[in-house]
Each structure stands twice: as C-alpha cells, then as structure tokens.
Amino acid sequence: MSNYRLLVTDVDGTFVDSRQEVPEDNRGAAQRNLPMDQAIAALEVASRFDVRTHVYMDGRVYVARIDSVVRDYAKKDRVDCIE
C-alpha cells in the first residue's frame, strides 16, 4: 500500500515564518509518511470542521471544493488547485 504525506499546519506564524517557509527547526514535524487508510481517515475527520484541506501529491494540489478561500490561496501561492 502506498504512503501519502499529510501536512497539517497552523499558519499564524508559529509553524511557518514571515516568508511562508518552514524553518529548519520545524521541518521534522512537517514530514511524516502516512499509510493511505490513515490519510483518508484524517481527511474524513477534517471534513467535519470548517477547514480547507489541501492534498499535495505528485506536484499537484487537490481540494474538496474551490471557493473564495481556496481561490485566494491559489492566487497568493501561484498554484492551481484541482477539485
């Protein structure tokens, strides 16, 4: 079974710096391989809350739905999000 990476961040400045980069000290916390069943379970839990999850896989960004928050994110970070 494939492993997927799941990144959960608190972007109020405690996890990323002012350039929106992960400082060296936080990088270990940012990367964990998850088995697919655990990644799916985490996404199911997140879907119960008012959060936007972004799945980064093979250089692409997948989202459950594209709304104004996701559009703003995509514009700011210059990425295309796939619904």
Q: Is 64 helix (H, G, I), strand (E, B) or coil?
A: coil
The range of the structural domain enclosing residue 77 comes to: 53-83
Paired tokens of 39: 């990644």
39 and 17, same domain (yes or no): yes
1 and 41, same domain (yes or no): yes
43 and 33, same domain (yes or no): yes
pLDDT digits (tens, 9 = 90+) for 26-80: 666 656 667 778 878 888 888 888 878 888 777 788 888 899 988 988 888 788 8
4 and 31, same domain (yes or no): yes
Give the chain's domain count: 2
47/49 Cα distance (integer angstroms):
5
44 and 76, same domain (yes or no): no
Q: Is 63 helix (H, G, I), strand (E, B) or coil?
A: strand
Q: Is the pTM of this model over 0.85?
A: no
